[in-house]
Structure 1
Amino acid sequence: MTSSTSPVSPPPQPPAPPSWWRRRVVEPVLNILKQGLTPKQLSLTVALGVIFGLVPMMGITTLMCTATAVRLRLNMAALLLMSHLLSPVQLLLIIPLMRLGAQLLGDSAGPDLTLEQLEHLIANNWRDAVHLLWQACAGAMIIWAVAAVPVGLLLNFGLRPVFRWLLARQAKKTEAAEL
């Protein structure tokens, strides 16, 4: 009697769950690409999302995105997604932009925007502290507005060919899946 031992194959492994990056960033962006937006609309949405995501003032990003999306008839979810993905970068840029803004609009003999100087002003002269913060915020917004124009134009026109290619590739995949 001959016994043949056949190798036992291990059971198939379930696919690994998608990473946080894939679930939270890649898949939402791919879903937006499937919504029928033109490359022009997509590039404008990304460009404005980046610009609004880097505004050096906390709390106005969503308002700016919503108003712009309604006015220009853009995809509000895509615009908000792009702007809120840049929140960590926004937080990194706020302090340097406020320092530059304080220098831009402040007196050359006036106090510099440092944490120690701000603490001292708040403790001793709150009006000067408010004035310094106002100058810093206004100056940061001016710097942001000046920088936003070339960045927005570069992104808008630079991303159009990329989105044309992505949409054509997506259409080919959809067409192949239907066959």
Structure 2
Amino acid sequence: MGLSKIRLKAWFHKKVGDPLLQILRRGAEPKQLAFSAALGITLGVFPICGVTVFLCGVAIALLGSLCHAPTVMLANFIATPIELSLVVPFLRFGEGISGGPHFPLTSDALKQVLTGQASREVLLSVGNVLLGWFIAAPFIMVALYVLFLPCFKILVRKFGVIAPSPTIPIDLHSELKPKPRD
């Protein structure tokens, strides 16, 4: 195995594997983990770079104990490379929904957006990208939840905390009497 593959494996283990094991060992429920992972990835593929962490933070604040914050953030982190690859499909989907013109993707268009000189067509394409994501997001969320639920049931069973052994019940109302000495 090459040095780069070893480094990639070590990086993946440190950034994804270890945090996932820590999450599983803390005793969260599979339904909550599946929901949180689906939410993190769905928000993580939001087509505007740099916004996804903020969106996840807002979702965590709004949902509170319904979601598992570390799982949402880990899933968001995992979704980062996927985010850029879905911009064009979201754009084309949004164009299809809105009936808008096909926007040609050129380096000049990106330059216009980054320099603040975006034309009406560029701004319209950003709107189409967002429309494509807003329409697709509920379907992505449900599909991921359905996919993740059985996976997390297995993972929690395999790597989750072991339930403590039953203890002898203690009657708190009885008095403790010292044993008499012989």
In 2: Cα distance, 1:20 partner to 1:36 partner: 25
- Amino acid in the other structure paired with 2:47: P
1:49 pairs, out of 34, 37, 40, with 40
- Equivalent residues of 2:47, 2:87 under 8 A apart: yes
1:84 corresponds in structure 2 to 77
Secondary structure of the residue aligned to 1:31 is helix
- Equivalent residues of 1:106, 1:132 under 8 A apart: no
- Equivalent residues of 1:50, 1:82 under 8 A apart: yes
Quote the RMSD (CA, aligned, Å).
Answer: 3.2
In 1: Cα distance, 2:144 partner to 2:111 partner: 42
- Equivalent residues of 2:56, 2:73 under 8 A apart: yes
1:166 pairs, out of 155, 159, 166, with 155
Could you tell me which runs of 5 or more consecutive residues in structure 1 were left unpaired when the two chains were aligned. Answer: 1-15
1:147 pairs, out of 120, 136, 147, with 136
Instruction: Give TM-score scaled by structure 2 length.
Output: 0.69
In 1: Cα distance, 2:88 partner to 2:154 partner: 38
In 2: Cα distance, 1:117 partner to 1:106 partner: 24
| Corresponding position: 1:157 with 2:150 | no
- Amino acid in the other structure paired with 1:93: L
- Amino acid in the other structure paired with 2:73: L
- Amino acid in the other structure paired with 1:136: S
- Amino acid in the other structure paired with 2:50: G
Q: How many residues get paired?
A: 153
In 2: Cα distance, 1:113 partner to 1:32 partner: 43
Deviation at 1:152, TM superposition (A): 0.9
| Corresponding position: 1:34 with 2:25 | yes
In 1: Cα distance, 2:149 partner to 2:112 partner: 49
Which 4+ runs in 1 deviate beyond 6 A?
119-122
Change beyond 3 A, Cα 1:95–1:105: same
**More contact order relative to length (CA 8 Å, sep ≥ 6):** 2
Superposed counterparts of 1:6-155, under 5 Å: 19-73=10-64, 74-98=67-91, 101=94, 105=98, 107-108=100-101, 112-115=103-106, 118=109, 126=117, 129-155=118-144
Change beyond 3 A, Cα 1:159–1:102: closer
In 2: Cα distance, 1:40 partner to 1:107 partner: 39
Q: Deviations over 1:1-34 (max 9, x none)?
A: xxxxxxxxxxxxxxx9972211111111111111
Could you tell me which runs of 5 or more consecutive residues in structure 2 were left unpaired when the two chains were aligned. Answer: 1-5, 164-182
Change beyond 3 A, Cα 1:54–1:117: same
